[in-house]
Structure 1
Amino acid sequence: MDLRDLRYFETIAELEHVGQAAERLHRTQPALTGAIRRLEKEAGAPLFERAGRGIRLTPAGKVMLRWAQRLRFDVEDAQREVGDIGRGLSGVVRLGIVPTAAQFQLPQAVRKLLAEAPDVRLKTTVALVDALMPMLRGGELDLVVGTEGRPEAGFVSRRLIEDHVVVAASTKHEIFRVTPTLKELARYRWVLQPPGAPTRDWLDHTFERRGLPRPDVQVESSTLHMLPLLIAETGLLSFVSRRHLDFSTGRYPLREVPLKEATMKRRLVITHRTNAYLPPAAERLMSLLGSE
């Protein structure tokens, strides 16, 4: 099978539309149709079927997609491994990392890595783990640092640190003049990440399980490093890593609202594809992140 045909097939399968795939790949629709016909002839089965205005994979197409991705990974890994021979700690490391780890773990690890290997280049994508894992599956990333989830076939994870997410407020907030309870917290407004973020969903469900309304969110922000400043400036409650409180001295002092039932424990892990080639620099970065 032609590797180029398989790459075209992957893009068509992703977009479920030949015309859109042609635009992305800068190829004509007949060229892509020809590639699919060649693959179907070799496979001995149709790979796509009509679905409304688009197309979708047949059962045979789903099997073909899995093997096409595996073949592409093998070719790309072989090229990288051969290129890395004799280069030592150099080359490119593609890292996906969640915001909290990017802020508090990554800088020191990168400082140490660059001191050992000044020729390494690091391409970093900062996002929530739900956005990073598809990129890892697709071979766009070598490593992902994120919150621990359910084990998934084809991936291996190594635990890094345990983190605690707590309710936080400005040191001047009136919540510190009373005994904090979930019912008391429900009286105030909040600044939180949007729904779908793991910490937001955990907090919402914590209130619901105790028969309380979800936190009254006045400000939503997907940018975590903005939360401490927003908490201090607005007087709103928030839900952030305890690590933020250690860095909130000076102009914007914050304080934890001590409440066990509103403290979320989570583990950060570093994940890669099970059989993927990892450049020596990626292996070293994993080690440095694990030593923090």
Structure 2
Amino acid sequence: MINNRDLDYFVTAAQIMNLRLASQNLNITQPALSKSITRLEKELSIKLFKRAGRGLELTEAGRILYQRGLALQSSYHEITEVMNELSSGAGGIVRVGISGSSTQFLLPEICKMLQSQVPNMKLEIQIGMNDVLFTLLERHAIDIIIGPLVNYESPVVQLPVTADRVVVCASSDHPLAGKPTSLRDLSRFGWILPAKTVSMRQWLDGIFYENHCPPPDVKVEISSLASVPGLIAKSGLLSFLSENILAEEEFISRLIRIDNEQLVMERRVGITWLEGAFLSPATQKVIEVTKAVGKKMQMESRRVLEE
């Protein structure tokens, strides 16, 4: 039977890939760490590390055990968390990854509702693009993602809660402001965009490619567009933002939508978690509140359209 301490030591060593640093991190001696790994390899009858120059490299068995070890550690953490919630009556801690645009139009209402219903709950929030957030989700570093629903290679559960539109925008005094524009017009100006690994950027580049136009001339590549509307307003560069951000009172007079119907991206916004993942009572509460906020937003949108 695998010794839990040996497995924990191995996971730390596999994360750091340096036995000296790993032993310091674990507050044990390097010989003690080496002995622990040797004991684990003997128990499993297979090598977990191999030499790669002056460093270490995981074997195929080592990579598999590392992934399973991370999942097991996450399960231990989840069990402890739930037991603490049940015993203390506290709201618990939920680790949320959220897109930049959702921090503007969803997060404030989610936090407001949670504070009124579960004042003892604590949210640990990571803001980022879908590629970064999903990496954190796979590593069990966050519990759920709130933001645009995109296709992932790994099996996930996705729950739509509202909708969003992403459009081309710029400062109100941009040369293209107030006039219909073609893709070729847009390709002549500089842009602020996320990395090519982000689904929104891939969609945008795809539209230019399909219409035989030069791709956007990216002058600034940034990790979160929602955090830089002020930069867009002052830089003279085009960007691709949620209409919800453009509607913020702070930016109504400074930013403007650039009119091009080909570059209107309709997207679903909701909650994503790993298929089969354990959801603590606190996490389930955040999901419930996010659904309620999304429903409220949709009702308000319909009322505005009817008026």
Class of the TM-score when normalised by the shorter of the 2 chains: 0.7 to 0.9
How far has the Cα of 1:112 moved from its partner?
0.4
Does residue 280 of structure 2 align to residue 283 of structure 1?
A: no
Superposition RMSD in Å:
2.5
Is contact 1:97–1:125 with CA below 8 Å preserved after alignment?
yes
Partner of 2:253: 252
The one-letter code sitting in structure 1 at the alignment partner of 2:215 is R
Q: Percent identity of the aligned residues?
A: 34
How far has the Cα of 1:182 moved from its partner?
0.3
Is contact 1:228–1:248 with CA below 8 Å preserved after alignment?
no
Give the count of matched residue pairs.
Answer: 292
Q: 1:176 to 1:138 in 2, by over 3 A?
A: closer
Does residue 163 of structure 2 align to residue 162 of structure 1?
A: yes
TM-score, scaled to structure 2: 0.84
Q: 1:23-42 alignment to 2 at 5 Å?
A: 23-42=24-43
Is contact 1:73–1:276 with CA below 8 Å preserved after alignment?
no
- C-alpha separation between the residues in 2 aligned to 1:66 and 1:220? 32
Partner of 2:304: none
Is contact 2:150–2:199 with CA below 8 Å preserved after alignment?
no
Is contact 2:78–2:280 with CA below 8 Å preserved after alignment?
no
The one-letter code sitting in structure 2 at the alignment partner of 1:193 is P
Partner of 2:95: 94
Q: 1:197-276 alignment to 2 at 5 Å?
A: 197-248=198-249, 252-276=253-277
How far has the Cα of 1:154 moved from its partner?
5.3
Q: 1:52 to 1:265 in 2, by over 3 A?
A: farther
Is contact 2:17–2:56 with CA below 8 Å preserved after alignment?
yes
- C-alpha separation between the residues in 2 aligned to 1:27 and 1:157? 42
SS at match of 1:124: strand
How far has the Cα of 1:126 moved from its partner?
1.2
The one-letter code sitting in structure 1 at the alignment partner of 2:163 is E
How far has the Cα of 1:153 moved from its partner?
4.4
How far has the Cα of 1:210 moved from its partner?
2.4
Does residue 6 of structure 2 align to residue 5 of structure 1?
A: yes
- C-alpha separation between the residues in 1 aligned to 2:285 and 2:271? 13
Q: 1:199 to 1:70 in 2, by over 3 A?
A: closer
Q: 1:122 to 1:184 in 2, by over 3 A?
A: same
Is contact 1:227–1:238 with CA below 8 Å preserved after alignment?
no
Partner of 1:109: 110
The one-letter code sitting in structure 1 at the alignment partner of 2:61 is A
How far has the Cα of 1:43 moved from its partner?
0.7
Structure 2 spans left out of the alignment, 5+ residues:
295-307
SS at match of 2:125: strand
The one-letter code sitting in structure 1 at the alignment partner of 2:103 is A
Which has the larger displacement, 17-26 or 160-169? 17-26
Is contact 1:144–1:270 with CA below 8 Å preserved after alignment?
yes
1:187-206 Cα shifts (integer Å, max 9, x gaps): 22223334433333332332
The one-letter code sitting in structure 2 at the alignment partner of 1:16 is M
TM-score, scaled to structure 1: 0.88
Q: 1:49-128 alignment to 2 at 5 Å?
A: 49-88=50-89, 90-128=91-129
Is contact 1:191–1:230 with CA below 8 Å preserved after alignment?
no
Does residue 187 of structure 2 align to residue 186 of structure 1?
A: yes
